[in-house]
Amino acid sequence: AQRVTQPEKLLSVFKGAPVELKCNYSYSGSPELFWYVQYSRQRLQLLLRHISRESIKGFTADLNKGETSFHLKKPFAQEEDSAMYYCALSFRYTGANSKLTFGKGITLSVRP
Amino acid sequence: DAGVIQSPRHEVTEMGQEVTLRCKPISGHNSLFWYRQTMMRGLELLIYFNNNVPIDDSGMPEDRFSAKMPNASFSTLKIQPSEPRDSAVYFCASSSDTVITGELFFGEGSRLTVL
């Protein structure tokens, strides 16, 4: 079954420290992976997608098919990075229909 | 565009009452999703519409839950009768693409408390 696992619920770091938010997935096909972010009092929004191979707000994520992982990384955390982060897997399950399934999310807290 | 609009933002009701949550997707988007967010389960997909047709409702918890999309600009999620375990934040999201590579645009959510 398709599944996204975020093993930690909370990560607390000091400003300037490196950040790695872990995400593992289970899917037999070719995965499409995303990170969504929810800042306090804001809507859940797309942060980045693996297909774009982009860096957004200093965050990057590399798809590792061997380890079935898509960890989100940032070398130097900022206080404004404090938010809830969700890893998500998109997969096609019938015909042209596809589904986006989320992990349980992790709260990142960046202390001054 | 104001984005995906959900109402009400907060709802407090008593067990057994009917609850109706509403969603207006972004104009031109042809896919609409209802998700439920809880601390224990994270974000769960309840139901997914494409061109107003329900495609997948396998995430709907039980018969007490129902969803409709009578036209391209409006959807409802109804819980009847409501129970305390239904307390959660319910999100509506829309997309103009297949979600294989596309982006979901979320509403601000409806926080439901069932006493």
Q: What confidence tens digit (pLDDT) does each residue in A57-102 have?
A: 999 998 998 999 999 999 999 999 999 999 999 887 766 677 788 9
Burial class of residue B18 in the structure, from the number of CB atoms within 10 Å of its CB (0-12 exposed, 13-18 middle, 19+ buried): exposed
Contact A99 B42 (CB under 8 A): no
Tokens representing A107? Answer: 């709260």
Strands (E), B1-115: 5-7, 10-13, 19-24, 31-38, 42-50, 53-56, 65-71, 74-79, 88-95, 105-106, 110-114
Distance of CA B15 to the CA centre of its chain: 20
Residue A56: list chain B partners with CB under 8 A: none
pLDDT at A15 over 90: yes
From chain A, which residues contact B within 8 Å (Cβ)?
6, 32, 36, 43-46, 49, 51, 86, 90-93, 96-105
Q: What Cα–Cα distance (Å) separates residue A93 from each residue in A53, B5, B98?
A: 24, 28, 12
Residue B60: list chain A partners with CB under 8 A: none
Predicted local confidence at residue A46, as pLDDT = 93
β-pair type (A83-94, A24-26): unpaired
User: How many Å lie between the alpha carbon of B70 and the closest alpha carbon of chain A?
Assistant: 20
Predicted local confidence at residue A95, as pLDDT = 67
User: How many Å lie between the alpha carbon of A33 and the closest alpha carbon of chain B?
Assistant: 9
Query: Percentage of chain A with pLDDT > 90?
Result: 70
Residue of chain A whose alpha carbon sits nearest to that of B108: A43
Whose CA is closest to A75, among A19, A25, A28?
A19
Q: In the 8-state DSSP scheme, what is residue A80?
A: G
Whose CA is closest to A1, among B94, B100, B92, B58?
B58
How long is chain A? Answer: 112
Average predicted confidence (pLDDT) for chain A: 91
Mean of pLDDT values over A45-68:
89
Whose CA is closest to A31, among A96, A97, A98?
A98
Q: Best mutation site among A9, A40, A87, A102 for testing chain B: the one with the most B CBs within 10 Å?
A: A102
Mean of pLDDT values over A21-46:
92
Predicted local confidence at residue A28, as pLDDT = 83
Low-confidence ranges of chain B (pLDDT < 70): 1, 97-102
**Window from A5-19, A29-43, A86-100, B45-59 with minimum mean pLDDT:** A86-100
Contact B108 A104 (CB under 8 A): no
